[in-house]
Amino acid sequence: MIETPNDIAPYGDIILWEKPVQFAAALFIRNGSTVFDIGANTGGVAIALRRLAGQKGRLTAFECHPKMIAWCRENFRVNDARDIRLVEKACWNQAGANLRMASDEGFYSPSSSLVRAIKTDRHFEVATTTVDVEAASEGQWPDFIKIDVEGAEYEVLQGAEAALSREPVIVLERMPPHQMPGREDRDPVPFLIERGYRCFDVNSLEPLDPDEAFVLPTNILAIPPRLTGFAPRFTDAARQKSADGALTFPLDPGAYRISLDIAVQGEGTGAFRLHDSAGRLVLMAADRSERLAAPLCAVFPMRVDAPDTYSLTLEGETVSLGGLTVERIDGLQADAG
């Protein structure tokens, strides 16, 4: 476990943070794209997105938590990403305000929020800005926006009306209603649908039913009206069963959806790891057993650039691997039809 910013080391070619989000981003970010990462946390995803944008691209990262700001600065430094512009403010629906933020001592800050009720004695004030203010001040409007701000996604979108009129692709986290009492009318998905966006689950790439109940945070891919050609289709490529918690399977070049059959035998934790034939770790997830078995973790997209054979292992006393299904994905065109 990395404990302080001073323990940060350079990333290799593979950055493991939020791999499904990276998959979605890679469909749309091109050399020269302008990207906003709102809720940068320790900066790992921002660095991955910055790489996608190429030499001509630009990335602005937003982070308001003092601990995470320090992480971002050091992470950008050691990963040769100092050209990332770091905005040390909360992205909100108005600029120039000061908000009270609650935070516990959690390592990552899902337990820090501007809008969620958190049992803690630790609070601090943060200054606010908006997407529109920052984009206008730089003269660079985002082509792609990632938002992960622990329940304040609705307010971020309210402050991005001018940006949304330019129809960027958006990936954001959607919090379940039971974690956001009193904020049922601040669901970002209806907000985007009203503006012509089509919403998909980032992990499964299935169209999202905005009225369907859900109990875990879900990453959403929002496709603007101009991108009519984006229509994911799935074809079975392989099915395998596992008897010992491990599987090996070959994949040809292409885009795939991997669905793991994970059974839960009780409360506990587990982890799965996916390695390529060279032994490189290309994807992993570690979580409580019930979350690991849910689509949030157990279903994910991946892209294969060259023929390879992959090995998957599952660890944990309260989880078991029954098998997996591999489906080829077509219809991911990032164009206007």
Q: Where are the domains of the chain?
A: 5-227, 232-332
Please state the rounded mean pLDDT for residues 174-199.
Answer: 90
Q: What is the DSSP secondary structure assignment for residue 194, as one 8-state letter?
A: T
CA distance 153 to 266: 33
Average pLDDT of span 296-319: 97
Residues with Cβ within 8 Å of residue 318, at least 6 apart in sequence: 264, 265, 266, 267, 268, 269, 270, 289
H or E segment to which residue 201 belongs: strand 198-201
DSSP string for residues in 259-286: EEEEEE-SS-EEEEEEE-TT--EEEEEE
| Mean pLDDT to the nearest integer, 140-166 | 97
Please check the confidence at residue 79 and state whether its pLDDT lies above 80. Answer: yes
Residue with tokens 């009492």: 181
Residue 114's pLDDT is 59
pLDDT tops 80 at residue 271: yes
The pLDDT value given to residue 108: 46
User: CATH class for domain 232-332?
Assistant: mainly beta
Classify residue 305 by burial, with Cβ atoms within 10 Å: 0-12, 13-18, 19+.
Answer: exposed
Instruction: Flag whether pLDDT at 113 surpasses 60.
Output: no
Mean local confidence (pLDDT), 247-270 = 97
> pLDDT at position 123, please?
77
**pLDDT tens for each residue of 28-65:** 999 999 999 999 999 999 999 999 999 999 999 999 99
Higher per-residue confidence, 118 vs 6: 6
Mean pLDDT calculated for residue range 193-213: 96
Q: Indicate the fold that domain 5-227 takes in CATH.
A: Rossmann fold (3.40.50)
For range 246-255, the mean pLDDT: 96
pTM: 0.94
Question: In the prediction, which pLDDT does 88 show?
Answer: 98
pLDDT reading at 198 higher than 90: yes
